[in-house]
Amino acid sequence: MPHVKVNKFNLYFGNDHILKDIDVSIPDKQITVIIGPSGCGKTTLLKSFNRLIDLQDNVKTDGRILIDGEDVFSRNADLCSIRKKMGLLLQKPYPLPMSIYDNVAYGPRIHGLKKGGDLDGLVEHYLKEASLWDEVKGRLHAPAGNLSLGQQQRLCLARGLAVEPEIILADEPTSALDPLSTARIEKTFIKLKKSYTIIAVTHILRQAKRIADYVIFMYYGRVIEHGPASKVLENPEKDVTKEYVNGVIS
């Protein structure tokens, strides 16, 4: 039983019907990539998983998104514990205004996980998981804002991993990065899928081909096609998908 399931999910901003009858299961411990033209609702769907979409005004939803069998949109859902299950990478990395160390330690600290000596170990562990440790081990207490963009994105990854999520959500995590940093993030994702379910949005078809195990193609708020990467990207069923993967529409 996959731990992320979307069930007849609809989302409205005021009167605009943005997400329409989304019905899809996300396979565990794989990289699922959401593709589709600009404005089709990829970010909105991604932010629905951890209900970050609640930060927007006038949002209405119906249908369900099940994480471990629990509907995140149910009335008595505990937002903090839902969000804690998912790490999030934004398009533009945003280090918190504190040191590298404190960025990674932030999650464990607010959740009261560990203190003192253990925290050092945790910080090191997650910086290693995010493939950043070697570059920052000598300056853990320097402000995080001084890192390069690529390093900042991996720091955000480490920060997200430090709250021990099961799922990693990523919204075009490499679109602000240079090719080398992009490659490092992609390599890290492939390493991390052994332990995490990864859902990433991308604009770049070549990136989808490089990392995706499973692909969801969205168009005007609907999921048009979803399935194993090889099938959707190489041999799609629907015409719109064909046009998109062949670059006719973008």
Number of residues engaging other proteins in binding (CB under 8 A): 31
Kind and range of the H or E element at 17? strand 16-26
In 3D space, the residue among 105, 155, 149 whose CA is nearest the CA of residue 132 turns out to be 155
Q: Which of residues 44-83 bind other proteins (CB under 8 A)?
A: 50, 52, 55, 57, 79-83
Beta carbon nearer to ligand ATP, 22 or 40:
40
Q: Which does 230 bind (CB under 5 to 8 A by kind): other proteins, ligand ATP, Mg ion, none?
A: none
Q: What is the per-residue binding string for ligand ATP in 43-82, x denoting contact by CB under 6 A?
A: xx-----------x--------------------------
Binding window for other proteins (CB under 8 A); candidates: 154-162, 180-188, 199-207, 219-227? 154-162
8 Å CB contact between 36 and 20? no
Q: Token pair for residue 164?
A: 């021990």
Residue 121 burial by Cβ neighbours in a 10 Å radius (0-12, 13-18, 19+) = exposed
Contact between 13 and ligand ATP by CB under 6 A: the answer reads: yes
In the complex, least distance from residue 46 CB atom to ligand ATP, rounded to whole angstroms: 8
Binding window for ligand ATP (CB under 6 A); candidates: 39-47, 72-80, 130-138, 233-241? 39-47
Cα–Cα distance between 6 and 65 in angstroms, integer? Answer: 4
| Residue from 8, 23, 97, 234 in contact with other proteins (CB under 8 A) | 97
Q: Which of residues 36-75 bind Mg ion (CB under 5 A)?
A: 43
Instruction: With H, G, I as helix, E, B as strand and everything else as coil, classify residue 193.
Output: coil
Contact between 209 and other proteins by CB under 8 A: the answer reads: no
Cα–Cα distance between 132 and 95 in angstroms, integer? Answer: 14
Q: Which does 96 bind (CB under 5 to 8 A by kind): other proteins, ligand ATP, Mg ion, none?
A: other proteins
In 3D space, the residue among 4, 21, 40, 10 whose CA is nearest the CA of residue 201 turns out to be 40
Cα–Cα distance between 157 and 26 in angstroms, integer? Answer: 21
Q: Token pair for residue 116?
A: 């003192």
| Residue from 106, 125, 228, 243 in contact with other proteins (CB under 8 A) | 106
